[in-house]
A = this chain, B = another copy of it.
Amino acid sequence: MRKVFLDVSISVDGFIAHADNDPGALHEWIFTVPGEGFSPRGVNKAVFDEFAARPGAIIVGRRTFDAGEEPWGPEPPFRCPVFVLTHRPRETVQFPNTSYTFVTDGLDAALSLAREAAGDRDIGLMGGSVARQCLAVGVLDEIELHVVPVIFGDGIPLFEAGSLGQVALERTRLVEGDGVTHLRFNVKH
């Protein structure tokens, strides 16, 4: 059955980026060689490649898109359409292996477009706001956290106190990466 999953690197204190949107040390497990693009190694490469091959569509928040546009560019690790949830209209950007479609009429519209594009493949989420919105309405099925051994102290949180009620999870996978711990959870609906 098609799943909606969140895949995100996170600090031990729950941040997905510094306050200026820079993910800093959180992406060092993906970019191990400066200037070489995606270059995870060993078990981290296996986890990353699996993530990249998985989605049939991606929904991303505008903030995360703005933070990630530069590294993704026309050759992102995934090869599927991306739907950017935003309030600012913009023309669709088409690349050979991906496209960026800007959705201004809310999460339901983005989910409909993503479901249509994904067929029976999974839908990936990127960004804290999109993830929280999907959790709140019960459409998020799986959370994969890449926990990086650093305390940020401040920044963009994945979860925001008071924005959600209690949600039970079930750990379904635990992978000990080099410099990062990969934790996968099912959301108990």
Contacts and interface: CB of A to CB of B under 8 A. Distances in A.
Interface of A: 12-15, 24-25, 135, 143, 145, 147, 149-155, 157-159, 161-171, 174, 176, 179, 181, 183, 185
Contact of A165 (B143, B153, B164): B153
Question: Does more than half of chain A's interface fall in helix, strand or loop, or is it mixed?
Answer: mixed
Contact of A153 (B12, B24, B158, B166): B166
Nearest to A136: B153
Contacts of A174: 174, 176, 181
Given A150-B169, A154-B164, 19 more contacts: A12-B145, A12-B159, A12-B169, A12-B185, A13-B14, A13-B159, A13-B164, A14-B14, A15-B161, A24-B166, A149-B170, A153-B161, A153-B164, A154-B161, A155-B161, A157-B161, A171-B181, A174-B174, A174-B181
A181 B169 CA distance: 13
28 contacts: A12-B159, A12-B185, A13-B14, A13-B164, A14-B159, A15-B161, A24-B166, A25-B168, A147-B183, A149-B168, A149-B169, A149-B170, A149-B171, A149-B185, A150-B167, A150-B168, A150-B169, A151-B159, A151-B166, A152-B166, A153-B163, A153-B165, A154-B161, A154-B162, A155-B161, A171-B179, A171-B181, A174-B174
A67 to B, nearest CB: 18
Total copies of the chain: 2
Given A12-B145, A13-B159, A14-B14, A151 B164 contact: yes
A143 B153 CA distance: 15
A158 B14 CA distance: 10
A103 B67 CA distance: 47
